[in-house]
């Protein structure tokens, strides 16, 4: 599977509508990004059930800022609409493969339960409602969740 380019308008939908998404935040002027690109592309061929997405941080500065990107390349992995991995730096192909195997091995229901538990704790701290929610979030909820996770990850 080839990689797909994400924008601020398509990021949330891609994360919400696919089971596993691996995002590479990069820039054309970044040497490590250019070295990592063939590794990322090769992995996309080995894992056709994973969406491999790229965000050009120069063209998508708003999205990069929302994601708190301060160093590139940065990889983020989402499973079931939930951010499960985020790290700056290129990975060797074998390590990327191990990461993908681990991410794919996560049970989506468990990941969402953990995310909901964290969100419930956060709502409790903010004084919001803590009533149970539907098992399967809507696409809009998943998009908001991805944005909230990114903000929380970077202390916003």
Is 123 among the domain residues? no
- Look at the chain and report how many structural domains it folds into: 1
Is 136 among the domain residues? no
Is 45 among the domain residues? yes
Residue 33's pLDDT is 96
Q: Can you give the CATH number for the domain in which 12 is found?
A: 3.40.30.10
Residue 111's pLDDT is 83
The set of catalytic residues is: 30, 33
pLDDT in tens, the chain (156 residues): 579 999 999 999 999 999 999 999 999 999 999 999 999 999 999 999 999 999 999 999 999 999 999 999 999 999 999 999 999 999 999 999 999 999 999 988 888 887 787 766 666 655 544 444 344 444 445 555 665 555 555 454
| pTM recorded for the entire structure | 0.76
Tokens, residue 62: 């708003």
Residue 150's pLDDT is 55
- Long-range contacts of range 47-50, CB-CB < 8 Å, 24 or more positions apart? 47/1, 47/100, 47/104, 48/1, 49/19, 49/20, 49/104, 50/1, 50/20, 50/21, 50/22, 50/100, 50/104
Domain enclosing residue 89, as ranges: 4-108+142-153
């Amino acid at each position: 599977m080839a990689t797909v380019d994400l924008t601020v308008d398509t990021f949330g939908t891609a994360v919400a509508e696919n089971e596993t998404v691996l995002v590479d935040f990069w820039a054309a002027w970044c040497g490590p990004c250019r070295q990592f690109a063939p590794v990322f592309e090769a992995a996309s061929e080995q894992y056709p059930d994973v969406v491999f997405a790229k965000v050009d941080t120069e063209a998508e500065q708003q999205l990069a800022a929302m994601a708190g990107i301060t160093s590139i390349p940065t990889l983020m992995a989402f499973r079931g609409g939930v951010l499960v991995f985020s790290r700056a730096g290129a990975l060797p192909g074998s390590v990327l493969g191990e990461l993908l195997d681990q991410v794919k091995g996560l049970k989506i229901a468990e990941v969402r339960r953990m995310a909901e538990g964290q969100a419930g704790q956060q709502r409790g701290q903010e004084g919001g409602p803590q009533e149970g929610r539907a098992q399967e979030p809507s696409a809009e909820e998943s998009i908001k969740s991805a944005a909230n996770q990114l903000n929380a990850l970077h202390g916003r």
